[in-house]
Amino acid sequence: MIVISLYDYTGEAVKPWAKAGYECHCYDIQHDNTRVDHFPSGGSISYLNADLHNYKVSSDLTRSYMGKPVAFGMAFPVCTDMAVSGAAHFERKRKVDPDFQRKAAGYAMLSSSIFTKLMNRFFIENPVSVLSTLWRKPDHMFHPYEYGGYIPEDEAEHPTWPDYIAPRDAYPKKTCLWTGGGFRMPVRIPVAVEAGYSTQHRKLGGKSMKTKNIRSATPRGFAQAVFEANKRP
């Protein structure tokens, strides 16, 4: 069974699937097609290069999976031009390109179209953004800490970015999901979280690719919860 993840640099979202034996394909323009992670279960994560803002590339990608056993799909389209947290820059961007937000929303809708054609469960993830008005209202919303209970206490510390991401994803960040194909929203198992903004919110400002990748990494608890709710035999 195959799992497809679009606009995915870190691979965090597919790790539970790969650990369970699924063949996972992560597509992002930052990948160079050289990395493959293998797991004892026989599962794997392949990090594949793709310019998903190129409609021909997306079309070819869709055709390459037709008739194959795709179990699940997920996408994390670039939110820079849509997230309300960046609203202060919208007017400047609009002067350069009046259609900048329509284009950004189109890439998210294209991801949905790809997964719908492949007839599998899926979600499209974005923070609170104008995608709600340019496309449709999200089907679900959550905060990372609401799924922190899926992370065992002896694995509380983040394995890659412990200095930036709170143990057991104990931080707030309202996140929206557009879903389809019979997606099942997992049961919440929250952990305690301090009131107000998370400390990592202050650490992950700026425009560097590193901070963008950390900000966009799927919370481990949510990734595990989605797997448990949507896995196939």
CB 220 within 8 A of CB 170: no
Q: What is the pTM of this model?
A: 0.90
Name the CATH superfamily for 2-230: Vaccinia Virus protein VP39 (3.40.50.150)
Per-residue model confidence as pLDDT tens for the chain (233 residues):
999 999 999 999 999 999 999 999 999 999 999 999 999 999 999 999 999 999 999 999 999 999 999 999 999 998 765 666 666 666 777 788 778 778 888 889 999 999 999 988 999 999 887 888 889 999 999 999 999 999 999 999 998 888 888 899 998 888 999 999 999 999 999 999 877 666 666 655 656 666 666 777 889 999 999 999 999 76
Q: How far is CA 55 from CA 104, 110, 113, 189, in A?
A: 13, 8, 12, 39
**How many angstroms separate the CA atoms of 145 and 182, rounded?**
24
